Structure 1
Amino acid sequence: MTDDSDSETDADGDGTASADETADADDRVPVLLVKGDREYLIQPGGEQGTDLGVLEVPEDVQPGDTIETHLGEAFRVRRLRGPDLFHQFERTGAPMVPRDVGLVIGETGVSQGDRVLDTGTGTGVLAASMARAGAEVVTYERDPEFADVARENMKLGGVDDSVDVRTGDLTEEIDALEPSSFDVLTLDTGDAAAVVEHAPDLLVDGGFVAVYSPFIESTREVVAAAREVELSNVRTRETIQREMQFDDRGSRPSTAPVGHTGYLTIARNV
Structure 2
Amino acid sequence: MSSDPDTDEAVEADPADEDAGGRVPVLLVRGDREYLVAPGGEQGTDLGVLEVPEDVQPGETIETHLGDAFQVRRLRGPDLFHHFERTGAPMVPRDIGLVIGETGISRGDRVLDTGTGTGVLSASMARAGASVVTYERNPEFAEVARENMELGGVADAVDVRTGDLTEELEELEDESFDVLTLDTGDAASIVAHAPELLVEGGFVAIYSPFIESTREVVETAREAGLSNVRTRETIQREMQFDDRGSRPSTAPVGHTGYLTIARNV
Rounded to whole Å, the distance in 2 between the matches of 1:128 and 1:102 is 12
1:103 maps to which residue? 98
CA drift of 1:248 comes to 1.1
Q: CA deviation digits over 1:127-149, x for unaligned, max 9?
A: 00000000000000000000000
Query: In the alignment, is residue 210 of structure 1 matched against residue 222 of structure 2?
Result: no
1:221 maps to which residue? 216
Say which SS state the counterpart of residue 260 (structure 1) adopts. strand
Rounded to whole Å, the distance in 1 between the matches of 2:66 and 2:237 is 41
- Give 1 or 2 for the bigger CA radius of gyration: 1
Rounded to whole Å, the distance in 1 between the matches of 2:20 and 2:81 is 26
Rounded to whole Å, the distance in 1 between the matches of 2:208 and 2:85 is 22
- Structure 1 residue ranges, 4+ long, deviating more than 2 angstroms after superposition: none
State, as a whole percentage, how many aligned pairs show the same letter.
Answer: 85
Amino acid in the other structure paired with 2:132: V
1:13 maps to which residue? none
Select which of 145, 153, 157 maps to 1:150. 145
Rounded to whole Å, the distance in 2 between the matches of 1:119 and 1:180 is 16
Query: In the alignment, is residue 184 of structure 1 matched against residue 151 of structure 2?
Result: no
Amino acid in the other structure paired with 2:136: E
Rounded to whole Å, the distance in 1 between the matches of 2:108 and 2:114 is 19
CA drift of 1:116 comes to 0.2
**Aligned residues of 1:179 and 1:203 also touching (Cα < 8 A):** no
CA drift of 1:24 comes to 6.4
2:162 maps to which residue? 167
Change beyond 3 A, Cα 1:267–1:247: same
Say which SS state the counterpart of residue 255 (structure 2) adopts. coil
Say which SS state the counterpart of residue 85 (structure 1) adopts. helix
Rounded to whole Å, the distance in 1 between the matches of 2:153 and 2:111 is 18
CA drift of 1:249 comes to 1.1
CA drift of 1:179 comes to 3.5
Say which SS state the counterpart of residue 184 (structure 1) adopts. strand
Superposed, which structure 2 residues align to 1:255-266 within 5 Å? 255-266=250-261
Select which of 126, 132, 138 maps to 1:131. 126
Rounded to whole Å, the distance in 2 between the matches of 1:180 and 1:164 is 15
How many residue pairs are counted as aligned between the two chains? 247
Query: In the alignment, is residue 244 of structure 1 matched against residue 201 of structure 2?
Result: no
Rounded to whole Å, the distance in 2 between the matches of 1:53 and 1:156 is 22
Amino acid in the other structure paired with 1:205: E
Rounded to whole Å, the distance in 2 between the matches of 1:180 and 1:92 is 29
Greater RCO between the two (CA within 8 Å, min separation 6)?
Answer: 2
Rounded to whole Å, the distance in 2 between the matches of 1:205 and 1:69 is 54
Amino acid in the other structure paired with 2:186: D
**Aligned residues of 1:215 and 1:262 also touching (Cα < 8 A):** yes
Gaps of 5+ in 1: 1-22
Query: In the alignment, is residue 65 of structure 1 matched against residue 70 of structure 2?
Result: no
Change beyond 3 A, Cα 1:255–1:138: same
1:87 maps to which residue? 82
Say which SS state the counterpart of residue 70 (structure 2) adopts. strand
**Aligned residues of 1:121 and 1:141 also touching (Cα < 8 A):** yes
Rounded to whole Å, the distance in 1 between the matches of 2:227 and 2:54 is 50
Rounded to whole Å, the distance in 1 between the matches of 2:150 and 2:170 is 29
Change beyond 3 A, Cα 1:160–1:257: same
Rounded to whole Å, the distance in 1 between the matches of 2:180 and 2:83 is 25
Q: CA deviation digits over 1:48-71, x for unaligned, max 9?
A: 111111111011100011011111
Gaps of 5+ in 2: 1-18
Rounded to whole Å, the distance in 2 between the matches of 1:105 and 1:60 is 32
CA drift of 1:166 comes to 0.3
2:114 maps to which residue? 119
